[in-house]
Structure 1
């Protein structure tokens, strides 16, 4: 029967399938960790710029990010001094690509004012082929071609990309697009042992949030960068700050103040250059918060912190660790507490070896503070004002140095006189207390 015939065919064994061995085009390589030799981070500017790594420099408009970076390029090309006073280990070349600034009327004048060695600065101005055809340079497509250029000029210490978002071919707000696009930039940095610095902007409405999260576009920009530097400008002032918002390879706190000053380089050409100031302690959020706060906000915060300190210390010395914990619990940033401490001339005293540091009101003012507090328990602002009138000032304030004039032709950034330290007065503290040494826990001062 037909049914029996089909049943028989289905029960017959299938013929074997001959499979040929196909060599895969790619395979995953796994390397034993024991065969990889550990190496230190190779720093260009220790703690700030690393060779072979991607960095982001972000900030609001008007902070002078490009001028700031050109100042660092001048240090690299001349083997000069970094903003913190340390010396650049050896002169190197710099590559600049900018879609926003014209080389002739903006970049060259700024480089000249900064004292850069122009023979070591190369400005990317497009592509050419064997037939002489020219095309604009597109970092989203042409970054791989830079490797040959870097080799031809004898290596590159720093590559500036302004803006870094131009290296993204897709949507800069999508993490996958950003990661895919920036991988070529990361590879260029590693292959050429070059510090790549991409300039970016802050997104609107991010004040008060984590500075690294304020970088415009996807968070992949900050995630891929090994270091994120941020810049901010004080309202109604020329003072600006540069801070480390994030670092996967070093410290992520501390900053440096700076200003952008006008400069005449001759032939009627006026430009600007960076003038570096003092080092700043604190996290990037605290540093930017101080810089971006309005005068009224800053005054109110400091006055509130002064009230807090007077209230705590009016009954006697308190351990710094306890003050720090209580201040954090009350919502005060430690930098605000430190400013209030200076304003009130609160003393830092070392008590034995185990007890550590304590803060206390000045010896001549404890009774005044206690008396004022007992007379007016409900008005701490009045207490602070009365205390500050008689506050003991143990140190004379440092007088800021005058801003440097524009360097003449041929003068680089290696001037030894640009980073002199001010001598401090060493007046004795009340009650015979001695000043702490540098070996002590400085953050408790």
Structure 2
């Protein structure tokens, strides 16, 4: 009898002395069966099946599907961590204030597609920008200031230790804050996200543990968490995820990563200086994005001094972008003002000429685009500018593009 078999018998609470009993000495007794290999094999199988019951298994037929619960539709999911990544000057914290304003009011203040699902409280944890700077940006973004709160990471006035995500006491206080606000914290913004790492944030094992604990906190409080991070110093030409600086855990743990970059030699004809895209979105769409600029704005001085206005900035979206994150980022990396205008104008003329005699299959248009030496990202910008429609053809289900039913403000060029 093998050691493995004896072990399985022990699992069945059969003593080793019983297993080693001589069946010839116990004629007709309980253990005479151990001399039968078939009986031993059957007992072995029973033991294996009993052990199988200890596996943590779940059958897919027992799983109930649930829709994704979004804080901001297609951008920030509830119960998960989302990272927003960019270079200094890309307006990351200004974007965060704009998102906070949307959640605090439950309104799509930035763009119709940047829509919050529910009105909620917002908590900003920051050691990047001071409370005065953030206050001005939130006012400029149109936030409900009674629903946005600032949590300092500095030592308290009474000598209390600074807030730390690694401190169980502070996490309990966060849970209490959520209860005080009727379980309605919609979003927590952490600037930078490295604040949650206890120690060296470039240490991947420490970073992974911290970001996984942050995900648990998002689920516990039933809110979204937006953490702000940085790209590498020279992100141009890199794969979207390869642009993210720091430990690989920052690319792996968050379910969504929002990436911004500057348009080289911008602004473009639409007035945008930056682009914002999905570098990663495990729960929603991964294509498309926005072109935007940081718009300076003067707020009235609360003291009534008209000569001492308060200067701040806000996000101004100048256009919606189509295509993959890689295409949009690469287009921004190599863009030049004159060439960009000319390429977009040429793409518009190309589409007007191609579609002036009626609808055309998208697959045929793509072949013509390759021949004309345009990128699809440029053609999709022209597509958007001209309000071209895309419809699924009856019969074969293939997509075709056509000029809109209403006239566009661009003449169809003569051949």
Q: TM-score, normalised by structure 2?
A: 0.68
| Conservation of the 8 A alpha-carbon contact between 1:290 and 1:298 | no
Residue of structure 1 in register with 2:197 after alignment: 168
* 1:99-144 alpha-carbon deviations (Å, 9 max, x no partner): 11110x2011111122211111111124889x95412223354663
Superposed CA deviations along residues 199-244 of structure 1, whole A, max 9, x for unmatched, are 1111123312222221111232121111111112223426222211
**Contact 1:302–1:340 (Cα < 8 Å) also in 2:** no
Q: Any stretches of 5+ residues in structure 2 without a counterpart?
A: 1-15, 18-53, 302-307
Residues 328 and 61 of structure 1: is their aligned pair in 2 closer, same or farther, counting only changes over 3 Å? farther
- Distance of aligned partners of 1:279 and 1:30 in 2 relative to their CA distance in 1, 3 Å threshold: same
Cα displacement string for residues 274-321 of structure 1 (whole angstroms, at most 9, x for unaligned residues): 223332111112222223324179559949x97xx89xx8xx999642
CA RMSD of aligned residues (A): 4.4
The structure showing larger relative contact order (alpha-carbon pairs under 8 Å, at least 6 residues apart) is 1
Counterpart for residue 63 of structure 1: 90
Q: Is the 8 Å Cα contact of residues 208 and 285 (structure 1) preserved in structure 2?
A: no
Corresponding residue to 1:153 among 177, 181, 184: 181
Q: 1:295 to 1:128 in 2, by over 3 A?
A: closer
Query: Judging changes above 3 Å, is the alpha-carbon distance between structure 1 residues 153 and 127 closer, same or farther for their aligned structure 2 residues?
Result: farther
Number of equivalenced pairs: 341
8 A contact 1:178–1:220 mirrored in 2 = yes
2:99 counterpart (62, 72, 86): 72
The equivalent position to 1:278 in structure 2, one of 308, 319, 341, is 319
Provide closer, same or farther for how the CA distance between residues 111 and 321 of structure 1 changes in structure 2, counting only shifts above 3 A.
same
**Deviates most, 81-90 or 204-213:** 81-90
Distance 1:300 1:157 in 2: 41
Please give the TM-score of this superposition, normalised by the length of structure 1. 0.64
Q: Aligned in 2, Cα 1:159/1:357: closer, same or farther, shift over 3 Å? A: closer
Q: CA deviation at 1:56?
A: 0.7
In structure 2, relative to structure 1, the CA distance for the partners of 1:323 and 1:170 (3 Å cut) is: farther
Confirm or deny: 8 A CA contact 1:170 1:177 kept in the other structure: yes
CA contact (8 A) 1:256 1:279 kept: yes
Q: Any conservation in 2 of the 1:140–1:166 contact (CA below 8 Å)?
A: no
Q: Which residue of 2 aligns with 1:244?
A: 278
Determine if the alignment matches structure 1 residue 334 to structure 2 residue 376: yes
Q: Which runs of structure 2 are paired with 1:130-145 in the superposition (5 Å)?
A: 132-141=158-167, 144-145=171-172
Alignment of 1:324-403 (within 5 A): 324=366, 333-338=375-380, 354=396, 395-396=408-409
In the alignment, which residue of structure 1 is the partner of 2:47? none
Determine which of 280, 287, 297 is the counterpart of 1:263.
297
Match of 2:222 in 1: 193
